[in-house]
Chains A and B, each alone.
Chain A
Amino acid sequence: MGAIDSSQFAGIGQPVLRKEDYRFLTGAGRYTDDVNERRQTYAYFLRSPYAHANVRSIDTSRAQAAPGVVAVFTGADLTGVNGLPCGWLITSTDGTPMKEPPHPVLAQGKVRHAGDQVALVIAESVLEAKDAAELIDVDYDVLPAVVTGPDALKPGAPQIHEQAPGNKCYTWALGDKAAVDAAFGKAAHITKLDIINNRLVPNAIEPRCALASYDRHDESYTLYVANQNPHVERLLMTAFVLGLPEHKVRVIAPDVGGGFGSKIYLYAEETAMVWASKKVNRTIKWVAERSEAFLTDAHGRDHVTHAELALDANGKFLAMRVHTTANMGAYLSTFASCIPTILYATLLAGQYTTPLIYCEVTAAFTNTAPVDAYRGAGRPEATFVVERLVHQAAVDMGIAQDEIRRRNFIRTFPYQTPVALMYDTGNYDATLDEGMKIADVAGFPARKAEAKQRGKLRGIGYSAYIEACGLAPSNVAGALGARAGLFEAGEVRVHPTGSVTVFTGSHSHGQGHETTFAQIVAAKLGIPVENIAVVHGDTGRVPFGMGTYGSRSLAVGGTAIIKAVEKVIAKGKKIAAHLLEAAETDIEFKDGKFTVGGTDRSKAFAEISLAAYVPHNYPLAELEPGLDETAFYDPTNFTYPAGTHICEVEIDPETGVVDVVNFSACDDFGNIINPMIVEGQVHGGVAQGIGQALLENCVYDLESGQLLTGSYMDYAIPRAHDVPSFKVGTKVTPCTHNPLGAKGCGEAGAIGAPAAVMNAVHDALSAVGVTRIDMPASPHRVWQAIHQTTQSAHA
């Protein structure tokens, strides 16, 4: 107990307690808002109160003169500053590039969503900045607004960008339409569904925040920012927007209080602050209020879909046809364009041998906050389409839910899907079997009958999901439109005394990399976890890396570290061979010792590191001193975590309240380094998935475009009593193409859970004749559906 944490379990596969916890538990975490500089100023962004308006004029003169004000900037001041870029080019079916209208850092003559930033006020205190912002006179010419994807694409809809006629960003398709249509023509049964994948707000509990400084001493900038990928943030900001020398900007993402995708992106606020920090020559701090977070963090999901599944008479899937309208919001956020395309349509094969799939996606601009990746990013939407279709097809054809899945599982690997992906490995029967065991499916009929006696409707739902993680092979991603590489970097710096600092380009904002990465290095080098420190989140310290998203950190970032460790060991063998006067090929490295094979002559790891830095007896002619290696790893394929989630709900028909009474998951994440951390990731993801299914819904007023769910009193993220304790298990088929055999676990819960919950809700409500409930299945919606069905039955 106490400040020193000694973990006796250092190995791979052990639930090592987290190295980072002591600081978080004792108030010693250092999040961006905990960092303060001398004479710092405070930023406040004046935001549009309207969803869509032309800005006739802005008068900042009264604000400039207000007490404590250092400066006030508007879009007119940002000469030479470009708009925020989008990192993925999607090409429409007609061969034209997607429409990329400007995404200004501060409004340029027009505002396009409620909360669009209009002016930046910098003052000696937050309160003075806010007070001054109230003195800015903005003359708005209010325009009609449109907030849903389908509405935005209708003729006569308000036009949001002159560069995007009809508000269309792109229409993109994947698959052989003619072959799919032909297969539907021969089907014995077709299941059709209309699906709304509800818009969500990520809601990391730490709001976005930033601290920007300019240093005249060496003409450099430092930006602390709550961000998941500081190098990407810096590259986009310097090279594409501000035109600053990349090497003169240091981006630090210190402790970050959750991300879930929302902190991947380059946002306007920190960009404006970096620019302004030189103008005012003062440090500037900004912390989003939660209301601002709701208005301006990139949202997630928001798909409207029609989906069809063609089956033969035995319930074998013949073809799938999907049409989706995706809401991009008012501007293209950093990776917005690839979410409803590359990360969505490619997952529509799921775990099944469906031979033909066609998916068409139209992306629309609307007067809402930008939409981008939120935990799962495209893959939850795909899983929801597939698993709702499969559930309904089983119901339609009178086939058991597990049986219809078994009839269609992929069982031979590698498997080339009709939607571009090549699954390397998996065992879907194993995760289904184990999931059913964990969920005690055999006992469900008795539980259902017992619930019925209490007047409750009990239902069970399955979701056999797959995801493509470990983003990503750079050349594949590049061919698909990515404007970035997707490798990861790791540096292993061995100190003279044999302790090690690991520098990783991936970033932890809750995932526990400081522990997991230390475990893999400890296991490989045979040294205690305590002797290893993991550094991340600082472009001034770590090599150029791509950060954390898409469940990539272990599979890609961990592999880069392993490659660097292997270089350390290889060099260590050369040093040991010299010291032990043996041939390099005779040196074996095991349990932290370099040994001459077949002898007891050995050197400990710390003796080798000391020799590397005190090279008195050292082969200097052929070997450099030092023991510090860097590796960059670019994966050869995606990884394919998969599993089965099974949910049981009880619905009170009197109130419409849906209670998740059991939630079981069996996942295959490949090899697992720290099962405690992995289970925690599943718990959190499942809770977010239950949140999407039952509680969360981001709603804009259809007329005014105002955000109606702008606080925790209107937008329901799960609280402790909204979710049960979870039953989780794993099965392992190691990933075949990375040395750790790891697939990734961060998003699985959010991907698998929504369909499991909603299939359970539909199963329960089938007893009273309800056939469609959209997410979230709130008490209001469920009660209405039950009563409408009952009324129409009586009519």
Chain B
Amino acid sequence: MGIQVAMTVNGKAVNADVEPRTLLVDFLRQHLGLTGTHVGCDTAQCGACTVHLDGNAVKSCNMIVAQAEGAEVLTIEGLATDDGTMHPMQAAFKECHGLQCGFCTPGMVLSAIDLVQRYPQADEKTIREELDGNMCRCTGYHNIVKAVQQGAAAMSN
């Protein structure tokens, strides 16, 4: 009944036998135990499940795991360096108080990095529009926008 999938997740080769209708997010959370990627909705709106697939932000609740066959997947767990030093965007979220309950945060950080890769000089309006696919109910976005600006500056250094 199962299918074989193989991919690279956070720099490590993984393979597994999964039910064909398994979503990428469920594969990450349940098969690999990478529970930093969250599920907040069932219509691909909230963005809590955002990961990077071959360097681009995608909603992992909106993909069958087989679609990620052979891909490079990056989750929030793979962002800090091996010694635990946070990525500049993670650090900026902390320094700007860009998170409260933390549930949207992994997706928000991964979207923010993707955003900055595409718009290194993004202004506030661009940041707000580009974060359309990531919902936060706690922060009112004020400090998230500040964090993305600060993280962008740090990433360019």
Q: Which residues of A contact B (CB under 8 A)?
A: 1-3, 5, 15, 17-18, 20-31, 33-34, 127, 203-207, 255-258, 260, 287, 289-291, 509-512, 676-677, 679-680, 683-688, 711-713, 717-721, 723, 725-726, 749
A410 to B86, CA, bound (A): 50
One digit per residue, 1 when the CB lies within 8 angstroms of any chain A CB and 0 when it does not, for chain B 75-115 equals 11101100111100011011101011111111001000000
10 contacts between A and B (CB under 8 A): A1-B85, A25-B76, A26-B84, A34-B35, A206-B103, A256-B101, A257-B103, A509-B101, A510-B101, A712-B135
CB–CB B101/A26 < 8 A: no
CB–CB B102/A721 < 8 A: no
Q: How near does chain A come to B1, taking the closest CB pair, in angstroms?
A: 11
CB–CB B99/A721 < 8 A: no
Given contacts A511-B100, A684-B139, are A711 and B105 in contact (CB under 8 A)? no
A680 to B145, CA, bound (A): 13
A729 to B31, CA, bound (A): 47
Q: A5-B94, A21-B102, A26-B84 are in contact. List 12 more A-B contacts (CB 8 A).
A: A2-B86, A18-B97, A23-B102, A27-B34, A28-B77, A29-B103, A34-B29, A206-B40, A258-B101, A290-B42, A720-B128, A720-B141
Q: Indicate which residue in A1, A28, A206, A509 contacts B36 across the interface (CB closer than 8 Å).
A: A28
CB–CB A27/B77 < 8 A: yes
Q: Please, which residues of chain B bring their CB within 8 A of the CB of A31?
A: 35, 38, 103
Q: Please, which residues of chain A bring their CB within 8 A of the CB of B137?
A: 203-205, 258, 260, 684, 688, 717
Q: How near does chain A come to B107, taking the closest CB pair, in angstroms?
A: 9
Chain A's closest residue to B30 (CB) is A36
B152 an interface residue at 8 Å Cβ cutoff?
A: no
Closest 6 CB pairs of A and B: A27-B36, A257-B103, A24-B102, A687-B140, A510-B101, A510-B100
Q: Please, which residues of chain B bring their CB within 8 A of the CB of A33?
A: 29, 35, 38-39
Q: How near does chain A come to B4, taking the closest CB pair, in angstroms?
A: 19
Chain A's closest residue to B77 (CB) is A27
A274 to B27, CA, bound (A): 27
A127 to B136, CA, bound (A): 28
A387 to B75, CA, bound (A): 47
CB–CB B101/A257 < 8 A: yes
Q: Please, which residues of chain B bring their CB within 8 A of the CB of A289?
A: 42
A291 to B29, CA, bound (A): 21
Q: Which residues of B contact A (CB under 8 A)?
A: 19, 21, 29, 34-43, 45-46, 48, 75-77, 79-80, 83-86, 90-91, 93-95, 97, 99-106, 109, 124-125, 127-129, 131-132, 134-145
CB–CB A290/B46 < 8 A: yes
CB–CB B86/A1 < 8 A: yes
CB–CB B101/A207 < 8 A: no
CB–CB A720/B40 < 8 A: no
CB–CB A29/B102 < 8 A: yes
CB–CB A711/B43 < 8 A: yes
Chain B residues touching A, majority SS? loop
CB–CB B97/A680 < 8 A: yes
CB–CB A206/B41 < 8 A: no
A725 to B86, CA, bound (A): 26
Q: Indicate which residue in A3, A25, A711, A717 contacts B99 across the interface (CB closer than 8 Å).
A: A25
Given contacts A33-B35, A687-B141, are A711 and B42 in contact (CB under 8 A)? yes
Chain B's closest residue to A257 (CB) is B103
Chain A's closest residue to B33 (CB) is A36
CB–CB B142/A290 < 8 A: no
CB–CB A720/B41 < 8 A: no
Q: Please, which residues of chain A bring their CB within 8 A of the CB of B135?
A: 205, 712, 717, 719
A256 to B104, CA, bound (A): 12
Q: How near does chain A come to B82, taking the closest CB pair, in angstroms?
A: 11
Given contacts A205-B103, A206-B101, A683-B140, are A721 and B42 in contact (CB under 8 A)? no
Chain B's closest residue to A30 (CB) is B35
Q: Please, which residues of chain B bring their CB within 8 A of the CB of A258?
A: 100-101, 103, 137-138
CB–CB A205/B48 < 8 A: yes
CB–CB A721/B101 < 8 A: no
CB–CB B79/A680 < 8 A: no
A33 to B38, CA, bound (A): 9
Q: Please, which residues of chain A bring their CB within 8 A of the CB of B37?
A: 27
CB–CB B140/A26 < 8 A: no
A369 to B123, CA, bound (A): 41
CB–CB B100/A512 < 8 A: yes
Q: How near does chain A come to B143, taking the closest CB pair, in angstroms?
A: 6
Q: How near does chain A come to B153, taking the closest CB pair, in angstroms?
A: 15
Q: Indicate which residue in A25, A676, A721 contacts B105 across the interface (CB closer than 8 Å).
A: A25
CB–CB A207/B100 < 8 A: no
Q: How near does chain B come to A207, taking the closest CB pair, in angstroms?
A: 7
Given contacts A684-B138, A686-B140, A720-B145, are A24 and B99 in contact (CB under 8 A)? yes
A677 to B97, CA, bound (A): 7
CB–CB A723/B141 < 8 A: yes
Chain A's closest residue to B75 (CB) is A27
Q: Indicate which residue in B48, B90, B101 contacts A25 across the interface (CB closer than 8 Å).
A: B90
Q: Indicate which residue in A205, A255, A512, A685 contacts B104 across the interface (CB closer than 8 Å).
A: A205
A711 to B42, CA, bound (A): 8
Q: Please, which residues of chain A bring their CB within 8 A of the CB of B99?
A: 21, 24-25
Q: Please, which residues of chain B bring their CB within 8 A of the CB of A512?
A: 100
CB–CB B76/A27 < 8 A: yes
CB–CB A29/B36 < 8 A: yes
CB–CB A27/B35 < 8 A: yes
Q: Please, which residues of chain B bring their CB within 8 A of the CB of A685?
A: 140
Q: Indicate which residue in A256, A713, A718 contacts B45 across the interface (CB closer than 8 Å).
A: A713
Q: How near does chain B come to A56, taking the closest CB pair, in angstroms?
A: 31
Q: Please, which residues of chain B bring their CB within 8 A of the CB of A683?
A: 139-143
CB–CB B35/A127 < 8 A: no
A676 to B42, CA, bound (A): 33
CB–CB B139/A721 < 8 A: no
A711 to B40, CA, bound (A): 11
CB–CB A726/B142 < 8 A: yes
Given contacts A2-B84, A205-B103, are A749 and B140 in contact (CB under 8 A)? yes
CB–CB A712/B41 < 8 A: yes
Q: Please, which residues of chain A bring their CB within 8 A of the CB of B21?
A: 127
A608 to B30, CA, bound (A): 48
CB–CB A25/B109 < 8 A: yes
CB–CB B83/A680 < 8 A: no
Q: Please, which residues of chain A bring their CB within 8 A of the CB of B85?
A: 1-2
A321 to B76, CA, bound (A): 54
Chain A's closest residue to B44 (CB) is A712
A260 to B138, CA, bound (A): 9
Q: How near does chain B come to A684, taking the closest CB pair, in angstroms?
A: 5
Given contacts A719-B135, A725-B124, are A287 and B94 in contact (CB under 8 A)? no
A676 to B106, CA, bound (A): 21
Q: How near does chain A come to B11, taking the closest CB pair, in angstroms?
A: 15
A687 to B136, CA, bound (A): 10
Q: Please, which residues of chain B bring their CB within 8 A of the CB of A205?
A: 38, 40, 46, 48, 101, 103-104, 135-138
Chain A's closest residue to B10 (CB) is A27
Given contacts A27-B36, A720-B145, A726-B140, are A22 and B86 in contact (CB under 8 A)? yes
Q: Please, which residues of chain A bring their CB within 8 A of the CB of B34?
A: 27
Q: How near does chain A come to B42, taking the closest CB pair, in angstroms?
A: 5
Q: Please, which residues of chain B bring their CB within 8 A of the CB of A720?
A: 127-129, 131-132, 134, 136, 141, 144-145
